[in-house]
Amino acid sequence: MHVREQLHTDRQVASTRGRRFGPLRSGLLISAVAAVTVTLLPATASAVPDEARTADQAAARVAEASHELEVVSEQLNDARVLLAEHQAAATTAGEAVVAAEVQLAALDGQIRRLARSAYTGSGMSQLDLLLTSDSSDELVSSLSTLEAIAEHTDEVLTEVEQASEEAAGSRETAAAATAEARRVVDEIAAKQQELERNVADYQRQYDALTVQQQQEVARAHGGESLPAPSGVTAPSSAAQAAVDTALAQLGDPYVWGAGGPNAFDCSGLTSYAYAAAGVMLPHSSRAQSQMGVPVSRSELQPGDLLFFYSPVSHVAMYIGNGQMVHASTSGQPVKVASVDAMGSFNSARRIAG
């Protein structure tokens, strides 16, 4: 192949590689940076209240502690969702590093081939060409070839420089994403320790209550348990599968941070139910409150998710006739209750149907 033809082929290869690498730069790195700049969680909920002096005070304070512990638990769930996003960002940035290094190696090989071509070709310099050319036409042709080599070499050098800078930037992005993921892990660990202390204190106070007082706590946080409906018809197959799965968990215990199959917290139950329908939801009531489409209370259908408190810290599933199924609080199994039992309705979202 003549030198001029080889240059044309190399230019096409370099151009194609550049086009392949361009979307990599604009896509992978933007998504990675976006993932590492997610706003972190609000402050942890306050500690469990002091000891009560009367049985009624104890019941009221345990009910309050139950809600605050659920807030902390849902913050932990939300932190785990954020952690997964940060880890994905670190993986994406790492892939960008590998792609940049592959591109750099390919371009470096191109420069070496150009150098060999220049040194082994018929012309080395304008002076050599002038002394060795047999005619003016041959001189002009050889000079043009030499200029093309120089021009193409400059193009390839520019590509190498861009690829090198991209690799360095990708490494920095990966390092930042990994550091942010580690910071979220540390935050989760600290909140988990606080949660465990609060759970132990709450459980001690709860166990000291009479059965009647424990029932009062349950009614204050989650509502009175209602009989399971004989049949629920949802508007779509996905919503039907989710409703059926949620109702099949009636009687399973509430455990903070649990997502099944034998114990649940509030968002663990709804994510588990929709997973059975092929719909993946994050294990976080706040994150779930941003999924699907909003619906008003007057438009609720079985399978819709109901959210409570502001900011959101509890989720339940609507099953029709003003009722919901949910994992309400520690010491209470998954149960059916009135939508109005929580007394702090926030919003509703339709996930399927």
Q: Give 199-246 as a DSSP string.
A: HHHHHHHHHTS-HHHHHHHHHHTT---BPPPS----SSHHHHHHHHHH
Per the residue annotation, which of 67, 221, 283, 326 is the catalytic one?
A: 326
3-state SS class at 305 = strand
The two structure tokens encoding residue 17 = 């590689």
Name the DSSP letter for residue 303. T
Per the residue annotation, which of 67, 152, 283, 314 is the catalytic one?
A: 314
- Going by C-alpha positions, the residue among 96, 75, 95 that lies closest to residue 313 is 75
Contact 339, 324 (CB under 8 A): yes
pLDDT at 238: 97
pLDDT at 272: 98
The two structure tokens encoding residue 257 = 């941070």
Name the pairing type of β-strands 293-294 and 305-308.
Answer: unpaired
Round to whole Å and give the CA distance between 342 and 137: 93
pLDDT at 276: 97
- Going by C-alpha positions, the residue among 328, 242, 319 that lies closest to residue 281 is 242
The two structure tokens encoding residue 18 = 């550049």
pLDDT at 129: 45
pLDDT at 206: 77
Share of the chain above pLDDT 90, in %: 32
Q: How confident is the model at residue 207 (pLDDT cuts 50, 70, 90)?
A: confident
The two structure tokens encoding residue 145 = 């070839």
Is 82's pLDDT higher than 80? yes
Contact 76, 255 (CB under 8 A): no
Lowest-confidence region among 9-23, 194-208, 287-301: 9-23
CB proximity list for 123: less than 8 A, separation 6 or greater: 129, 132, 142, 143, 145, 146
Any idea which architecture 223-350 has in CATH? Alpha-Beta Complex (3.90)
The two structure tokens encoding residue 37 = 């700049």
Lowest-confidence region among 7-11, 56-60, 338-342: 7-11
pLDDT tens figures, 116-129: 565 555 444 544 54
pLDDT at 92: 84
pLDDT at 28: 32
* Mean pLDDT of the 143-148 span: 56
For 196-217, b/e burial (b = at least 16 CB within 10 A) is eebbebbeebbeebeeebbebb
- Higher confidence at residue 46 or residue 126? 126
Locate tokens 């994406």: which residue?
A: 92
pLDDT at 149: 59
- Alpha-carbon distances, residue 239 vs 264, 266, 277, 278, 289 (angstroms): 19, 17, 7, 10, 16
Round to whole Å and give the CA distance between 153 and 147: 10
- Higher confidence at residue 33 or residue 177? 177
pLDDT tens figures, 312-331: 999 999 999 999 999 988 77
* Mean pLDDT of the 273-287 span: 96
Total-model pTM: 0.65
CB proximity list for 323: less than 8 A, separation 6 or greater: 226, 229, 336, 337, 338, 339
Is 12's pLDDT higher than 80? no
Per the residue annotation, which of 67, 86, 266, 283 is the catalytic one?
A: 266
Extents of the domains making up the chain:
3-207, 223-350
Is 247's pLDDT higher than 90? yes
Highest mean pLDDT among 47-61, 71-85, 96-110: 71-85
pLDDT at 283: 94
Query: How long a stretch of residues is the chain?
Result: 353
pLDDT at 54: 65
pLDDT tens figures, 228-246: 998 899 999 999 999 999 9
Active site residue 266: yes
3-state SS class at 46 = coil
The secondary structure of 56-80 as a DSSP string is: HHHHHHHHHHHHHHHHHHHHHHHHH
